[in-house]
Amino acid sequence: MFNNSSVIKLEDISFSYLGSDTKVLDHLNLEINKGDRIGMMAPNGSGKTTLLHTIMGLCKPDSGTIKVFGKVLNHEKDFLPVRSKIGLLFQDSDDQLFCPTVLDDVAFGPLNLGFSRADAIDIARKTLEKLGILYFEQSVIHKLSGGQKRLVALASVLAMEPEVLLLDEPTAGLDNIVKKKLIHILNSLDISYFVISHEFDFANAVTDKIYSMENGKILRDDEIHIHRHEHVHKHGKHPHIHK
Amino acid sequence: MIEEQFAYGSSFIHSLDPKIRIIASIVLSFATALCDNLYFAVIYFVVSIILIVMARLNMIDIFKRLRPVFWFLLMIWIILPLTFEGDILYQFYGLKITGQGVILCCKITIKSITILLLFSALIATMTVASLGNGLHRIHVPDKMVFLLLMSYRYISVIEEEYQRLLRAAKFRGFNPGTNLHSYKTFAYLAGMLFVRASLRAQRVHQAMLCRGFNQKFHTLDDYPPNRLNSIFLMVISAASLSLVIFEMIWI
């Protein structure tokens, strides 16, 4: 309905951790519009996770404004209704999945949103089915593998039917099979998302533009050139040096 | 780490509402603990065996579960008969075994095994998640229910973290022994574990906030009202109560 309308807009955001002088975010500007599929590749410690947590209201910025769906968010209670509309996938799935069983965890969000028990179960089942993991709805979470946990964590975020997804290194520690599955899932989703990743192939496969971060600021597509060369030559498998 | 080997089954006991089972086990174990007569203790023991049979649990597995208690009981059997004052049953030079001591040992043995069997039959036959649900519905404070469920979920994560730290130390040539260096290293490991656990707690809390957590306990389990539940609870309560009254009148 609001095509190309701004979903998340950060203006002039600065943030530094308590007791530290370095600004993790330094007068940063970022806009995510409806339908955007943005990737973010930047070195460790450049403030990517802090950026996501700032959007969710988990880190309070020292200055600047956060606008979500056109509304300025200042206090904890402003963020409450917004959090269900923005889904954040954490770096470590063990942080995100805290219920004993898979179904419990996926239904946790819908129950908090006020859905009845039957509806919450229904939503949870449908989400699990969409990701092709309905067969372990009754599994105990601490017995799942890393890849399974990541998919369940994604399901638990998607069950809240967010309008934007923020993904914090979704492929970290995953094998190629789960990575491919994740690429397939993300490409079939009909929502905007913002992905932090260290893997060029993955970021390239699921996003339309790639940003980077430096000195607490965002570098846009046209300012950076992340690319990969593939080439063939006659030395074959023998070790050799390029001049 | 935590195996719920008895939790899945299709017996009558398994089909009972967790809430009912929790209340029944509390009533029965209190009655057993308060009982002071050997014959009555045997009756409670028989009741617990009946419940185990009703839950169709494997006797060998039950026996394995009881092993830690046997060590505790063995200690009591060695110490009590020799030290308890009373009529001498058998004397060997300075060592006196008293009749009262032996009877007390019997009582302690039967009562402790009975209580464990009761809990095996009634509580171990549900998952930790159902236990949390049952506790919530008998109005145990939400904070305590969360504490139980979170410990269940994260104990394996913390154990994994500990193993990871220990492995890292071992790879760098750490060889635990009885010396200050080893104690110090273990203290560092423990400290690190606390730091990590608290950081993780922060992240888990953030993740919960992101999904709209509002300090309320929601649960998915649904136990339709069933007349068997109330009949079971009434039978258990009536039996315990009458046994307690009988014991009071009799003695």
pLDDT tens digits, one per residue of A25-64:
999 999 999 989 999 998 888 888 899 999 988 888 999 9
Section A203-227 average pLDDT: 81
- What is the distance in angstroms between the Cα of B206 and the nearest Cα belonging to chain A? 7
What pLDDT is recorded for position A167? 94
What pLDDT is recorded for position A168? 92
Chain A positions touching B137 (Cβ under 8 A) are none
pLDDT in tens, A82-121: 888 899 999 888 888 888 889 988 998 888 888 888 999 9
Both A120 and A171 in a single domain?
no
Phi, psi of B122 (to 5 degrees): -100, -40
What pLDDT is recorded for position A195? 94
What pLDDT is recorded for position A1? 43
Q: Is A155 a residue whose pLDDT tops 90? A: yes
Both A157 and A169 in a single domain?
no
Separation between Cα atoms, residue B112 and residue B121, nearest integer Å? 14
Both A167 and A151 in a single domain?
no
Token pair in block for residue A180: 């491919």
Chain B positions touching A97 (Cβ under 8 A) are 153
Classify the C-alpha dihedral A130-A131-A132-A135 as positive or negative.
negative
Mutation target among A95, A115, A137 for the B interface, most CBs of B within 10 A:
A95
Section A174-198 average pLDDT: 91
Residue A167 falls inside a structural domain? yes
Q: Is A3 a residue whose pLDDT tops 60? A: no
What pLDDT is recorded for position A22? 85
Query: What SS3 class is residue A36?
Result: coil
Range B57-71 burial, b when 16+ CB lie within 10 A, else e: beeeebeebeeeeee
Both A13 and A34 in a single domain?
yes
Does any CB of chain B come closer than 8 Å to the CB of residue A95? yes
Position A222 confidence tier, pLDDT thresholds 50, 70, 90? low
What pLDDT is recorded for position A180? 92
Chain B positions touching A90 (Cβ under 8 A) are 203, 206-207
Note the helical H segments in chain A: 48-56, 76-83, 93-96, 102-112, 117-130, 146-158, 176-188, 200-206
Token pair in block for residue A222: 């046209």
pLDDT in tens, B95-138: 888 888 888 999 999 999 999 999 999 999 988 888 888 998 89
Phi, psi of A32 (to 5 degrees): -115, 120
Both A60 and A122 in a single domain?
no
Q: Is A2 a residue whose pLDDT tops 80? A: no
Both A16 and A129 in a single domain?
no
pLDDT in tens, B23-75: 999 999 999 999 888 888 999 999 999 999 999 988 898 998 888 899 999 99
ipTM of this model? 0.74
Q: Is A235 a residue whose pLDDT tops 80? A: no
What is the residue-averaged pLDDT of chain A? Answer: 87
Section B82-87 average pLDDT: 81
Both A195 and A120 in a single domain?
no
What pLDDT is recorded for position A150? 93
| A and B: number of Cβ contacts within 8 A | 86
What pLDDT is recorded for position A57? 87
A177: domain CATH number is 3.40.50.300
Range A187-220 burial, b when 16+ CB lie within 10 A, else e: eeeebbbbbbbebeebbbbbbeebbbbeebbbbe
What pLDDT is recorded for position B14? 87
Both A57 and A38 in a single domain?
yes
Give A177-243 as a DSSP string: HHHHHHHHHHHH--SEEEEE-S-HHHHHHH-SEEEEEETTEEE-GGG----------TTTTS-----
Both A75 and A2 in a single domain?
yes
Number of domains present in the structure of chain A: 2
Position A243 confidence tier, pLDDT thresholds 50, 70, 90? low
Domain-wise residue ranges, chain B: 12-134+222-250, 141-210
Chain A positions touching B206 (Cβ under 8 A) are 53, 56, 58, 90, 95
What pLDDT is recorded for position A66? 92
Q: Is A201 a residue whose pLDDT tops 80? A: yes
Both A46 and A153 in a single domain?
no
Q: Do residues A174 and A181 make contact, with C-beta atoms less than 8 angstroms apart?
A: no
Phi, psi of A175 (to 5 degrees): -85, 175
Q: Is A237 a residue whose pLDDT tops 90? A: no
**Shortest CA distance from B204: residue in chain A:** A95
Residue A232 falls inside a structural domain? no
Residue A19 falls inside a structural domain? yes
Phi, psi of A73 (to 5 degrees): -110, 125
Q: Is B1 a residue whose pLDDT tops 60? A: no
Token pair in block for residue A133: 């993991």
Percent above pLDDT 70 for chain A: 91
Both A183 and A110 in a single domain?
no
Report the range of poorest mean pLDDT among A122-126, B91-95, B110-114: B91-95
Q: Give me the domain span that covers residue A113.
A: 94-161
pLDDT in tens, B5-26: 888 888 888 888 899 999 999 9
Secondary-structure breakdown of chain B: helix, strand, coil percentages, each rounded to the nearest 5: 75, 5, 25
pLDDT in tens, B132-175: 889 988 999 988 988 988 888 888 888 888 888 888 888 887 88
Separation between Cα atoms, residue B193 and residue A178, nearest integer Å? 30
Section A163-181 average pLDDT: 91
In B150-209, the residues whose Cβ lies within 8 Å of chain A are 150, 152-154, 156-157, 200, 203-204, 206-209
Residue A241 falls inside a structural domain? no
Residue A239 falls inside a structural domain? no
Separation between Cα atoms, residue B178 and residue B167, nearest integer Å? 19
Both A77 and A1 in a single domain?
yes
Separation between Cα atoms, residue B81 and residue A240, nearest integer Å? 84
Who among A87, A90, A103 is closest to B220 (CB)?
A: A103
Q: Do residues A10 and A27 make contact, with C-beta atoms less than 8 angstroms apart?
A: no
